[in-house]
Structure 1
């Protein structure tokens, strides 16, 4: 049954035209913009599509010429032969950069494994959660430990020795430094987010409320007047469909948030969630590692641990 009043209402023709360019965080930010400025005509441009339709930066900039505002995360050279996001900003003076959010304190064990030399062409090793790996599981595998020994390492004493319980200050400093580097200082926002509890799904997937804060600030700085509403009350958090890394119980106690060792796989939107307990997650990780060449299992964290006699002794202890 078609109900005329149930049809989706299109934005008013006179609303601002806004392009949002970015990684997986950009979709949530674009949705937040639609809620905060309901007559906006919002165009989402995933970073992974850059350079595929418009082959040159000039052509891409021309395609954005009819936009009143362009909000973009920094992107590196490699997508376009003429340069990176700074080169695009020279062609689009009204373009505003916003940071790609990474905050590791809640999930200090989560790492990427593989070739990180190019964001545009990253060759990452697969894991049960897409591309997110446990540094403990990987190092245990490389040390030749069996499943039960690796699972037994997920305890407070080991976390403390690895620095997991002291990760907040470093994670905060890294986030603030990266945001200040593009002129979008997040120190005030980080203080507010931290007072609200857990604000990340994993190391680089913020909750929708965080993206709503950034969207509102971008709109204000662009001279627009966003609604003063919490976007998370009006839209689904699309990053909930992606991988969710748990906050391990000792860390959860430290930060006053809910903790577990239950991991959630990436899922198709609308599909039921599939979760893994700690032992199942580690077992599946080890099974994947056995199928890969050793030179694909590269990780800066693990390389650092390999050079530490204290950490090697921690993993070899009965």
Structure 2
């Protein structure tokens, strides 16, 4: 089966080299008379590409996904294909997504027209979300649980510390979150995010971040922003390459593409801190909305499913730097365990 990037390469050459000749022969009018734009990258790239198409409906805008691995498309083929575009925007990606060697840095060196596209990462709403790397899969290899690659640091700690499911659920309270610093993440998340985007891409998103914050929660997880965030990123990238974004009511046409993936909840004490509504409802991945409405897990259901995964994998495979640090520090470990048991005695076991 062809990867998305291989399908897009084929589609691009048909549109670039074949369709204009057919149209000239048949007299069919081609609507895409504007610039050719390519957006290469991760799960956020579709939202950026969609936004750019909305900003100029006459443009040809193609999305090239660097998720997964290609069977035959290598960097040479990708470079030749992207040379046919007027503008190319690309997230960073590692060698291994394409056949043979070649990462985003080499793409930029071989194709100077490529503009580096910032990836949005913001932890303040979901400070408990972590990944567990799978050493057997070096390229974005993660151990998957009930919410795909998304895991709760508290749940992993509790399992490895030998706590019961009830004791684990009792950890999902404000006193534990305060102890772990979960309520004071905004400044660090904001400054780190803005500094990284400025350093890597030369773009200032500080005013955009303030606008997003005024709308409330703007992330589905650490790495999945809402559609209006990606629209603002697309607008900034246009400005960077000298294009003029028109006034567009994105809210009327927006697609929340990343809402089809897993959604990590904003825990109520954290949500209260930001003046928004929170909960403990975990949304499962569903990229086939036409066939099924999908499913959700309550906190008890989520934790039970996590423990099943962790029992199957074994504690030795559940390495994570943050959790490792909690377990290695006897004072922190004992404090968290005592809070879990104290909360359980008080009946503080949230459900949803």
TM-score of the superposed pair, with normalisation by structure 1: 0.90
**Deviations 1:25-76, CA, capped at 9 Å, x for gaps:** 1111111111111111111100125654322x33321111110100111123
Cα separation, partners in 2 of 1:22 and 1:251, compared to 1, 3 Å: same
**Equivalent position of 1:175 in the other structure:** 193
Question: SS of 2:63's equivalent?
Answer: strand
How many equivalent residue pairs? Answer: 307
Q: d(CA) in 2 for partners of 1:11 and 1:209?
A: 29
Cα separation, partners in 2 of 1:233 and 1:306, compared to 1, 3 Å: same
| Partners of 2:92 and 2:104 within 8 A in 1 | yes
Cα separation, partners in 2 of 1:28 and 1:45, compared to 1, 3 Å: same
**Equivalent position of 2:305 in the other structure:** 284
**Equivalent position of 2:210 in the other structure:** 191
**Equivalent position of 1:201 in the other structure:** 220
Root mean square deviation, CA, Å: 2.0
**Equivalent position of 2:143 in the other structure:** 125
* Superposition deviation, residue 222 in structure 1: 2.3
Structure 1 residues 231-250: aligned runs within 5 Å:
231-250=250-269
Question: SS of 2:220's equivalent?
Answer: strand
Structure 1 residues 27-176: aligned runs within 5 Å:
27-48=46-67, 52-55=71-74, 57-79=75-97, 83-115=102-134, 121-176=139-194
Task: List structure 1 segments (4+ residues) > 3 angstroms apart after TM superposition.
Answer: 49-53, 77-83, 115-118
Question: SS of 1:177's equivalent?
Answer: helix
Q: d(CA) in 1 for partners of 2:97 and 2:148?
A: 23
Larger helix proportion, structure 1 or 2? 2
Q: d(CA) in 1 for partners of 2:255 and 2:158?
A: 37
TM-score of the superposed pair, with normalisation by structure 2: 0.82
Q: Which runs of 5+ in 2 are unaligned?
A: 1-28, 342-352
* Superposition deviation, residue 93 in structure 1: 1.8
Q: d(CA) in 2 for partners of 1:202 and 1:20?
A: 22
**Equivalent position of 2:318 in the other structure:** 297
Cα separation, partners in 2 of 1:117 and 1:190, compared to 1, 3 Å: farther
Q: Which runs of 5+ in 1 are unaligned?
A: 1-9
